[in-house]
Chains A and B, each alone.
Chain A
Amino acid sequence: MENRGLNKVDLIFEKVDLKDILSNAFKMKNSDIIQKVLDSGLKGRGGAGFPTGLKWKYTAAVKEPEKYIVCNADEGEPGTFKDREILDRVAYKVYGGMAIAGKAIGAKNGIVYLRGEYRYLLPKLLKELESFQRLIKGIGYDFKIRYYLGSGAYICGEESALFESIEGGRGEPRNKPPFPTTSGVFNKPTSINNVETLVTAIMIIKYGPESYSQLGTKDSRGSKVFSVSGDTPTPGIFELELGMSVQQFVDEFGDGDTKAVQVGGASGFCVPRKKFQDTVIGFEGVPTGGSMKLFNSSRSMYNVLHNYLDFFAEESCGQCTPCRVGCQQLLKGVEKVKKREVKSTYLNELMKLADTMKVASKCGLGQSVGNAFRTIVENFREEIIY
């Protein structure tokens, strides 16, 4: 497996001359912008990892005068806090990314869906938005951005639930197809991208896809902002080249006693110490939207799992059966195992349930509950039982 080692990068927070980048970008053909992003190999930085260029290409291909570019700033994955930092420090780059994406797909309107808990950032963000709007007006380009605020539901980070929320409905995921590229917010073609993805796109336009794709591995091009938390002496935000092993990551950020790393938050995967060496952080190994949580040997993995399941039982939208009832069964199930009210083999039954949730749930939330469950139970079974 390709291993690039641990390398710090400074792209996302690098100060740039936005006017310069945008002036150049607005002179480019839409298809050229999309091609550059395609060539860069950029995959969505929210966690799901859909190729950004492809998303833009599909949305651009739909013939419809009204389209939207939505910036998903509903950062809700437990242990992720990088979008907050990006918005706080380089919001102008986010807006720039939206304008370029808007140009590429043919959208005149952008929407930022901001996590409700980040409301305190809003005055500052709006002020920066004002100068941004002045800037592109100066360039002679027409693109408007407005804000919608979330109200605290984790599920509203799921793209179609987010659209529902913007439209004033309950935050419930929609049936797909149709996909957002043909029918997104207000049932119009929509490209919805993570905060970091949009900033990355700006840097790809600035430096060119060739230079960007030098970073990272074949399956995981470029760099990524990581939110490091848990048992670490150096918690915080770090931009790193993709393609390092968990071991290299732990060597840098661990406290010397790391027994597991939860990669990708509650919906991600638990990597135990014995697999640190052979697991690459990236789409070929363990993908992440940025959340990296380290656990040392003082932590009970039962408590970690219980916490995640409790979270999901609460944060499922409740719409579909496997997720709504499945989460409760997993939660209750591990409690019963812990209390010795059922045999430990009950965990095998729960594993099958997690499989059902993975294949039968309506959206990514229910489909990924099984990730943490399976990887924690498989690797720390004794901690769940005893």
Chain B
Amino acid sequence: MISLSINNQRVMVQPGTTVLQAARKLNINIPTLCNHPDLCVAGNCRVCVVEQTGARTLIAACAMPAAEGMDIHTNTLKVRNARKHIVELLLAEHRSDCTKCYKNQKCELQALANEFAFGDTIFYDLVEDHPYTIDASSSAFIKDDSKCIRCQRCVRTCAELQHISAIAVAHKGMHQKISSFHDRPMSHVVCTNCGQCVVRCPTGALVEKTAIDQVWDAIYESDNHVVVQTAPAVRVALGEDLGYDPGERVTGKMVTALRQLGFDSVLDTDFSADLTIMEEGTELLTRLKKALVDGDKKISFPMFTSCSPGWIKFIEHKYPEFLPNVSTCKSPQQMFGALAKTYYAQKKRIDPAKIVSVSVMPCTAKKYEADRPEMRASGYKDVDYVLTTRELAVMIKQAGIDFRNLEPTHHDSIMGESTGAAIIFGATGGVMEAALRTAYEIVTGREVPFKNLNITPVRGMDGVKEAAIKIEGCKEEWKFLEGVTLKVAIAHGLANANKILKQVRKGKSPYHFVEIMACPGGCLGGGGQPIPTSLEIRIKRMKAIYAEDEHMQFRKSHENPEIITIYKEFLGQPNSHVSHELLHTHYVERENY
């Protein structure tokens, strides 16, 4: 243990602890900006400078390891003067149109300015001194360089968590900026639209491309029938933007709020998550049959899940040779969209041209996915508008809804029924667990051999998880699987996906089925979720998801009554001709820069 003194209070810490962490142990707040719990230390904004007795300069608390006998002071005149200067310098290169900014009152720089830099500044505004770009080329987000303060959180996110580096630091000195490859528009580089940079940007330099106004317009147009679907991970995080602590489940209140916003029908992506399991599980079993029984050499393993549009764009750019390994299933959002303007329209006798299909997603990549040209199977744009969890919270506030005192209600029917299997899609490992719950039962006629159906090896926050299930006692038509040990893996965050793909490229992957989610923690840590994020917050959301699962009447996708009905009335069999037309898709090879 190391003993040091901060503001004349003694604290004992483990070696490797930073001065910042040591101060937090004493509940001494040192302001930070470039620091983020998910990222490596940068030490470049210098907002956290403190005074160390005997040191020539101030030290950055976030980057300085605590050392024996250190005498630290966090609030001396020298520190205060420097900190005020630093915040003012940051403001000098930041286009401060705060009242009009999407991040107004959610901006970390604004919060610092409020503490340290109110009143007149002696510094010159430098924003107009340099040419800057406001890049709105991506479907998912806007990159506004005039609001960028070069903290490099986005750069570190893209490099460390996602192994992509679609954005990186370019040029030096006064010309330094965060740029893409050759300054190309974000729509034309390897960016996966995952939005992890958006979640970590302290200012309004990276924000989602909002659809709030379009959705209001659609709601107010009386001819329209506006349906909304809610993704599994939204219900365990929405509360954070509405005054709740992380990990609070607000499903019922969310449904009521959506109804009060004026949506004609409040439906559930959970329904199409269950549908995904039916289609994808069947696809996996078919592939296994083709490989093991028919000896089809073209079938290669592992098969990859396809729910995460960030992951899909990643593999399209980075490992296009393995696109045949990706399940052809559309994501639940897009299955839902295709059915809303076909199945739902028929059942409800509504002209599909009048249906406006809105989704609420924990994700920014879903905005891009909805815009893909492949996603018009219904003859219309299958999903018209995608809102993030954050945007829904904004709409709820705009409508003046007293969220906390809402009566919880249930999703509408049809396409509103959910199961525990669908809920857990929101957490890393959830798709795998849901698939195993169903596939094992299809093959053996028995439930998966795990207590309470909880397949714990696939749960949790480890970057890459794996599990093996030996299949025994198969039904007659699945006899070829008798004794086969099904090997699966789960990766979340594209850096971890990259590990799996590298292994596959070397020909050393032992797995049959791999679930990949682009974002850390899966959808619950998505790019559209409330800000801030950290491992601690993601774990709380994860616990909420599994609690939600435990409380569901149905916990297996194939038991969802609406799923049974749709196959009986509309789709026929999983992977049927109709299914293939509406629920499956293909992928595009993209360039790697």
Contacts and interface: CB of A to CB of B under 8 A. Distances in A.
Interface of A: 153, 155, 170-172, 175, 177, 312-322, 324-329, 332-333, 336, 346, 349, 352-353, 355-356, 358-362, 367
A353 B86 CA distance: 9
A358 B65 contact: no
Interface in B92-113: 92-93
Contact of A324 (B78, B123, B129, B150): B150
Nearest 7 pairs of A and B residues by beta carbon: A318-B176, A325-B89, A175-B63, A356-B85, A316-B173, A175-B43, A360-B82
How many interface residues does chain B have, given as a range? Answer: 35 or more
B450 interface: no
B57 A318 contact: no
A347 B174 CA distance: 21
Contacts of B46: 320-322, 360-362
Contacts of B49: 359-360
22 contacts: A170-B169, A313-B173, A313-B174, A318-B172, A318-B174, A321-B47, A321-B150, A322-B82, A322-B86, A324-B176, A325-B123, A328-B129, A328-B174, A329-B89, A336-B124, A356-B81, A359-B58, A359-B82, A360-B86, A361-B46, A362-B43, A367-B57
B57 A324 contact: no
A362 B174 contact: no
B293 interface: no
B45 interface: yes
A316 B174 contact: yes
Interface in B156-214: 169, 171-176
B454 interface: no
A331 B49 CA distance: 24
A349 B123 CA distance: 9
B393 interface: no
A146 B344 CA distance: 70
Nearest to B33: A321
Nearest to A178: B65
Given A175-B60, A358-B57, A360-B82, A324 B169 contact: no
Interface of B: 41, 43-47, 49, 57-58, 60, 63-65, 78, 81-82, 85-86, 89-90, 92-93, 122-124, 126, 129, 149-150, 152, 169, 171-176
Contact of A327 (B60, B82, B90, B174): B174
Contacts of B90: 321, 325
A315 B176 CA distance: 10
Contacts of A361: 46, 57
A318 B152 CA distance: 11
A316 B173 CA distance: 4
A327 to B, nearest CB: 7
Given A175-B41, A352-B81, A360-B57, A317 B86 contact: no
B78 A359 contact: yes
Nearest to B86: A321
A315 B86 contact: no
Contacts of A316: 172-174, 176
A90 B417 CA distance: 82
Nearest to A314: B173
**Most chain-A CB neighbours within 10 Å: which of B90, B122, B150, B171?**
B122
Nearest to A320: B44
Contact of A326 (B43, B60, B78, B89): B89
Contacts of B150: 318-319, 321, 324
Contact of B57 (A321, A326, A359): A359
Nearest to A329: B123
A362 B44 contact: yes
B125 to A, nearest CB: 10
A333 B124 contact: yes
A314 B45 CA distance: 19
Contacts of A170: 169
Given A315-B172, A361-B46, A332 B124 contact: yes
A320 B152 CA distance: 10
Contacts of B92: 325, 329
A362 B60 contact: yes
A54 B64 CA distance: 22
Nearest to A311: B173
Contacts of B149: 321
Given A320-B46, A321-B44, A356 B173 contact: no
